[in-house]
């Protein structure tokens, strides 16, 4: 089965995910680049290659204006 960001959106109910959006991962901030199976690929700031992350584990998603769209961390929200 081929996976895509559309599949990840549908599977996790995360309709706002799109390529190029800023996120905070457990490893730092970065940019969504693609899907990998039911996960997402994120190129962390300062890195050349993307890492793979679970879309709802300790992730924060930011809108184009920097607002938090979704925060899946168990700790307090911080600003971007």
What pLDDT, on the 0 to 100 scale, is given for residue 34? 96
* Nearest partner of 59 among 37, 39, 33, judged by Cα: 39
Round to whole Å and give the CA distance between 35 and 48. Answer: 17
Pairing of strands 68-71, 60-62: antiparallel
For the chain, the domains span 5-71
Report which of residues 22 and 1 the model is more confident about: 22
What pLDDT, on the 0 to 100 scale, is given for residue 78? 57
Give pLDDT tens digits for 31-65: 999 999 999 999 999 999 999 999 999 999 999 99
The DSSP H or E segment spanning 10 is helix 5-12
Is the pLDDT reported for residue 77 higher than 70? no
What pLDDT, on the 0 to 100 scale, is given for residue 31? 98
0.95 exceeded by the pTM?
A: no
């Amino acid at each position: 089965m081929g996976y895509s960001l559309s599949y990840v959106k549908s599977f996790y109910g995360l309709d706002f995910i799109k390529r190029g959006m800023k996120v905070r991962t457990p490893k730092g901030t970065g940019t969504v680049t693609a899907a990998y199976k039911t996960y997402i690929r994120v190129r962390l700031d300062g890195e050349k290659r993307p890492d793979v992350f679970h879309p709802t584990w300790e992730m924060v998603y930011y809108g184009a204006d920097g607002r938090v769209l979704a925060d899946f961390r168990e700790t307090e929200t911080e600003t971007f």
